[in-house]
Amino acid sequence: MITRQDLLQRIAKIPQVDIGHFPTPLEECPRLTEALGGPRIFIKREDCSGLAMGGNKVRQLTFTIGDAVSQGADSIVHGAASQSNHCRQTAAACNKLGLNCYLRLAHDHKSINQGNLLLDNLFGADIDIVSLPFGPELEEFKLELAEKLKSEGLKPYVVTSPRSTALAAVAFTWCIAEIHAQQEHEGIDADYLYTASVGGTQAGLVLGSKVLDMKLKPYGIAPIHWEGKYDRISNAANSAASLLNIDINILNTDIHNSDDYIGEGYGYLTEECISALKLVARTEGIILDPVYTAKAMACLIDHIKQNRFDKNDTIIFLHTGGTPALFAYNNELYDDSHL
């Protein structure tokens, strides 16, 4: 049996950088709970993690950039979709720590100078928008760029799987330890934890809740169709367990993740996610993002309507951030009916 203190001591041994505001708040949402007719809902505010408008990747970058710095890196190479929250927070972290930042972003339907991409430019990152899809081809392109930077005398570190996904799982094992302590403080014992994830975030939540023998069951809502996602999540959890020297095995059957709320595809809004975003904003004054958390909340709302929970159940919704992306979706979200 591993205690919370023991788990935190193991996590503390992993190289880290101090870039965020932790612990993030756990906030009860009584008006949202009332609007949905129960269950009792709390939101874990990873959007309040401090760096560059916050988000879950700040917690992850605490370890991935910690890994880079421990290896003597002077440059960070990353890349994803053009409105990537991860890349925005990477650029900010590099500025905070005096590292060079190279972002290679996939050209897509939101490659506009707004939202996260606007902030990437503001942070002064070396940005190139490339005609490659978000996925394996872009990851290979990042590795090739790193080799070029090495030939120029730099010491690059590439944020890429499987290492970054395993370190993300370490990060969210730490997040679960925070939730464990916050539940004690609030006098609650949640039944479920909902969040948007198809990788390291859910891997850490599953690992941490199992290690600490918690009642809550993590439930992930995929923002993108990802082939082999169950292997990806369980492998990341088990890699994190190895890094933390924890003798435990996470199976694919431990992973609960839904593709049912993606809609047309990654980064495309659904009517349900827009409705969920507006409901949370108008009941709690909390802003979700349209790509990840609004779709996860749409799933939770749908599950409540399906009577999957008792009204006395307690749900924690982990808000992974992404707020700046809202501004790239102004046309889809702006309601001019009052004009």
What is the CATH classification number for the domain harbouring 70?
A: 3.40.50.1100
Residue 151: both structure tokens together: 């030939």
Q: Are residues 43 and 64 in the same domain?
A: no
Q: Are residues 191 and 105 in the same domain?
A: no
Q: Is 270 helix (H, G, I), strand (E, B) or coil?
A: coil
Q: Are residues 82 and 10 in the same domain?
A: no
Q: Would you say residue 339 has pLDDT above 70?
A: no
pLDDT at 42: 98
Q: Are residues 144 and 226 in the same domain?
A: no
Smallest CA-to-CA distance from 254 within 180, 202, 187, 328 is with 202
Mean pLDDT confidence for 64-80: 98
Q: Are residues 195 and 71 in the same domain?
A: no
Residue 242 annotated in active site: no
Rounded CA separation 267/263 (Å) = 9
Q: Is 24 in contact with 9 (CB distance < 8 Å)?
A: no
Q: Is 291 in contact with 223 (CB distance < 8 Å)?
A: yes
Which pTM does this prediction carry? 0.96
Boundary-marking domain end, from 120, 136, 161: 161
Whether 324 is in a domain gets the answer: yes
Whether 338 is in a domain gets the answer: no
Whether 298 is in a domain gets the answer: yes
Residue 155: both structure tokens together: 């010491």
Q: What pLDDT digit, counting tens, does each position of 295-318 carry?
A: 999 999 999 999 999 999 999 999
Q: Are residues 14 and 91 in the same domain?
A: no
CA 305 to chain centre: 26
Whether 339 is in a domain gets the answer: no
Q: Would you say residue 338 has pLDDT above 70?
A: no
Q: Is 201 in contact with 124 (CB distance < 8 Å)?
A: no
- By residue range, what is the domain housing residue 83? 56-161
Residue 20: both structure tokens together: 């965020």
Whether 231 is in a domain gets the answer: yes
Q: What pLDDT digit, counting tens, does each position of 2-59 carry?
A: 999 999 999 999 999 999 999 999 999 999 999 999 999 999 999 999 999 999 999 9
Q: Are residues 157 and 170 in the same domain?
A: no
CA 32 to chain centre: 22
DSSP helix, strand, coil percent of the chain (3-state; round to 5): 50, 15, 35
Whether 150 is in a domain gets the answer: yes
Whether 176 is in a domain gets the answer: yes
Catalytic pick among 49, 75, 82, 84? 84
Q: Are residues 82 and 216 in the same domain?
A: no
Boundary-marking domain end, from 111, 143, 161: 161
Q: What is the identity of the amino acid at 221?
A: I
pLDDT at 334: 86
Rounded CA separation 272/275 (Å) = 5
CA 8 to chain centre: 20
Smallest CA-to-CA distance from 224 within 276, 261, 272, 253 is with 261
Longest dimension (CA), the chain: 61
Residue 196: both structure tokens together: 């948007």
Residue 124 CA neighbour count, 13 Å, CB half: 7
Q: Are residues 50 and 175 in the same domain?
A: yes
Q: Is 175 in contact with 26 (CB distance < 8 Å)?
A: no
**259 Cβ neighbours under 8 A, 6+ residues apart:** 222, 225
Rounded CA separation 279/106 (Å) = 31
Q: Are residues 119 and 192 in the same domain?
A: no
Q: If you average pLDDT over every residue of the chain, what do you get?
A: 97
pLDDT at 1: 81
Q: What pLDDT digit, counting tens, does each position of 132-157 carry?
A: 988 899 999 999 999 999 999 999 99
Q: Are residues 182 and 121 in the same domain?
A: no
Smallest CA-to-CA distance from 296 within 207, 201, 195, 216 is with 195
Boundary-marking domain end, from 144, 161, 178: 161
- Total domains, the chain: 2
Whether 317 is in a domain gets the answer: yes
Q: Are residues 221 and 307 in the same domain?
A: yes
Q: Is 239 in contact with 168 (CB distance < 8 Å)?
A: no
pLDDT at 52: 96
